[in-house]
Amino acid sequence: MTALDLSSPVAVVGTGTMGQGIAQVALVAGHPVRLYDAAPGRAREAAAAIGARLDRLVEKERLTAAGRDAARARLLPVEELTGLAGCALVVEAVLERLDVKQELLRALEDVVPDDCLLATNTSSLSVTAVGGALRLPGRFVGLHFFNPAPLLPLVEVVSGSATDVTSATRAYETARAWGKTPVACADTPGFIVNRVARPFYAEAFAVYESQGADPATIDAVLRESGGFRMGPFELTDLIGQDVNESVTHSVWRSFFQDARFTPSLAQRRLVESGRLGRKTGRGWYDHADGAERPEPHTADPAGPPAYVIAEGGLGPASELLALIREAGVEVRERDEDGGTRLVLPGGGKLVLADGRTTAEFRDVVHFDLALDYRGATRIALSHARHTSPAAVAEATGLFQALGKKVSVIGDVPGMIVARTVARIVDLAVEAVARGVATEDDVDTAMRLGVNYPLGPFEWSRRLGRGWAGELLDELHGIDPSGRCAPSLALHQYACAADEREDTP
């Protein structure tokens, strides 16, 4: 099954931001495009807005004047639904309400031919439920574009329970022909991106609610150590707290209030107070003109230790040993069964975040996971109240000697980057195990849909298949509420990498 022929008319119903963006994508790809909106005159306004954006593309030399003129000639706003007769594909981008979408689709079936592909751009509703009212549900598919649709490459192609393989394949190939990067996905709450991305927000909010660190510090650590383009607090201010919370609630309810998707009370209070982010001028941060952005906590300078003793390797942080030597700090290596830590001259121990609290140990300082310890510009440290100031100072001075800023946070098990990545990996592994998508498609979706520095499976291969499960086991042992419980799929994923005995 191939993509739709460029001569085939494509229609978009609903002319808000997403509808206009999808229409522009199809139009620039070469299709005749028809626009419809139930509000009188809205389709004509949308056509004018799209035309203006085409003008800007010409100004930026991304489109020729001739290409713009040809595209404008192919764009047709219509005032009646009957104007969509003869279309080969209709994409709806109307209000996110099941009854509204179902009523529209039933009306469309009376207008378009039986071989017309029908699609929804829903991000929160079940594709199966939306198409459930159709006479021919096999031709119905989800085409979830990301905003802004003309710029972001990812499209989740979602097959509902009744979607025919031929329909899904045609939608997939059409999205690819439009210059997008499609990923195939089964109909599950949140699809790929909105399902797997929940811990990026949830873990940051949990650290904040436990008073482990402030939003500016958490954002800085995830950016400068974790390699994420934006931190979760600044990102949700950009998205809109109400929008982000609504997606979280939708996924949580759809999974029958699974504790792993529990919404944040702190975010709920933010929404209730009307502090929705940039669009209202205030969210986690103050976005008023001239408002000062709070600085992340950064430790004062401390002297580096004269030496460190490396007991065992450092696992995912093993590259630190070379960096320490390059900084002129002596590394003394000592074999230690099960040891994966650095011992400081004063007797304190520096241990990679592993899901345990520092309160369990004497003079232990945890350090957080980094995407790339050489390239990271900030490292987070965590310690208990009873940890000696000398151990904290030596740990701080060591990382400062490596050219890193240091953020000292509270005694947070799993810290910030490590617990976030572990939970993302867990949800990704479970999604694949449940047939939602392939490993490659999950990685592609998370890199392109939310700009993650690595896909979850890429991260898992780098850290080791058993790393996420071991950390989450520790977290679940401390907090047995279920929100950090590793999935059965993650356990099986880790076991599959090891040689096992034939019998128990």
- One of 121, 126, 159, 194 is an active-site residue; which one? 194
In 3D space, the residue among 6, 65, 56, 55 whose CA is nearest the CA of residue 33 turns out to be: 6
What is the pLDDT, as a whole number, of residue 338?
A: 57
Q: What is the mean pLDDT of residues 111-132?
A: 96
Is 194 part of the annotated catalytic residue set? Answer: yes
What is the pLDDT, as a whole number, of residue 503?
A: 43
- One of 121, 123, 159, 382 is an active-site residue; which one? 123
What is the pLDDT, as a whole number, of residue 411?
A: 96
Is 295 part of the annotated catalytic residue set? Answer: no
- One of 144, 297, 366, 383 is an active-site residue; which one? 144
Q: Residue 347 has what DSSP assignment?
A: S
At 309-341, the pLDDT tens digits run: 999 878 899 999 999 999 999 999 887 665 689
pTM for the model: 0.94
At 130-163, the pLDDT tens digits run: 999 899 999 999 999 999 999 999 999 999 999 9
In 3D space, the residue among 431, 353, 458, 444 whose CA is nearest the CA of residue 395 turns out to be: 353
The separation between CA 110 and the C-alpha centre of its own chain, rounded to angstroms, equals: 38
Task: Identify the three-state secondary structure at position 117.
Answer: strand
Q: Are 21 and 49 in contact (CB under 8 A)?
A: no
What is the pLDDT, as a whole number, of residue 337?
A: 61
What is the pLDDT, as a whole number, of residue 448?
A: 97
Phi, psi of 340 (to 5 degrees): -140, 70
Between CA 354 and CA 270 the distance in angstroms is: 31
At 424-459, the pLDDT tens digits run: 999 999 999 999 999 999 999 999 999 999 999 999
Which residue bears the tokens 């990996």? 425
Q: Which two tokens stand for residue 148?
A: 């802004």
**Alpha helix (H) residue ranges in 225-319:** 232-239, 241-254, 265-272
- The DSSP bridge pattern shows strands 378-382 and 364-367 to be antiparallel
At 28-41, the pLDDT tens digits run: 999 999 999 999 99
The percentage of the chain sitting over the pLDDT mark of 90, rounded to a whole number, equals 95
At 218-277, the pLDDT tens digits run: 999 999 999 999 999 999 999 999 999 999 999 999 999 999 999 999 999 999 999 999
Is 272 part of the annotated catalytic residue set? Answer: no
- The DSSP bridge pattern shows strands 341-343 and 307-311 to be antiparallel
Q: Which two tokens stand for residue 273?
A: 């107070």
Task: Identify the three-state secondary structure at position 233.
Answer: helix
Phi, psi of 145 (to 5 degrees): -85, 160
- One of 92, 121, 126, 156 is an active-site residue; which one? 156
Q: What is the CA radius of gyration of the chain?
A: 26
The percentage of the chain sitting over the pLDDT mark of 70, rounded to a whole number, equals 97
502: Cβ contacts below 8 Å, ≥ 6 apart? none
Is 144 part of the annotated catalytic residue set? Answer: yes
